[in-house]
Copies of this chain bind each other. A is one copy, B any other.
Amino acid sequence: MSEHAAVLFANDAFYLAFATRDLEAMDAIWALETPVSCIHPGWEPLLDRDEVMESWEAILTNPSATNVTPKNPTVHVFGEVAYVICSEILDQGFLVATNLFVHEGGQWKIIHHQAGAAPPPEAEEEDENDPGDTIQ
């Protein structure tokens, strides 16, 4: 697997853990040896791994947690560091995220996530004609 594909795989694993509310998988995708940080929309930055994981526990165990689907990822790899920009489609709107990864223990692990409000992502070919269906 190319590093580009491996980073995309790690990004997908992050969103799969989010979508399936799998706290164990979410914990496993975050780096252990490298300091991590996380900026949820409208939150102050979380700069400590325990705080970051507590935030995910609060989000993933919330009965009204939103669904989330990543879209239009772009991947940039710089040796042992990589980042992905992608849109996030939620039940109630749209976000855009920066996800930063390091290569740790033979795997790409997330070290930083920031998500913030965004307009609807650009439609892919198959839904160019009905963007309103998923927005309203």
Number of interface residues of A (CB under 8 A): 33
Q: Contacts A37-B74, A112-B83 given: A118-B47 contact, CB under 8 Å?
A: no
Residues of B close to A78: CB separation below 8 A: 34, 80-81, 102
Q: Interface segment, A15-23, A38-46, A51-59, A127-135? A: A38-46
A116's contact among B87, B102, B117, by CB below 8 Å, is which?
B117
B39 touches A98 (CB 8 A): yes
Residue of B nearest to A41 (CB): B116
Is residue A115 contacting chain B, with contact meaning CB distance below 8 A?
Answer: yes
Residues of B close to A44: CB separation below 8 A: 96, 118-119, 121-122
Give the B-binding residues of A (Cβ under 8 A): 34-35, 37, 39, 41-45, 47, 74, 76, 78-81, 83, 85, 87, 96, 98, 100, 102, 111-112, 114-119, 121-122
A-B contact pairs, 25 of them (CB 8 A): A37-B74, A37-B76, A37-B85, A39-B96, A39-B116, A41-B116, A42-B117, A42-B118, A43-B118, A44-B118, A44-B122, A45-B85, A45-B87, A45-B96, A47-B74, A78-B102, A79-B80, A79-B81, A81-B81, A85-B112, A98-B112, A98-B114, A100-B100, A116-B117, A117-B117
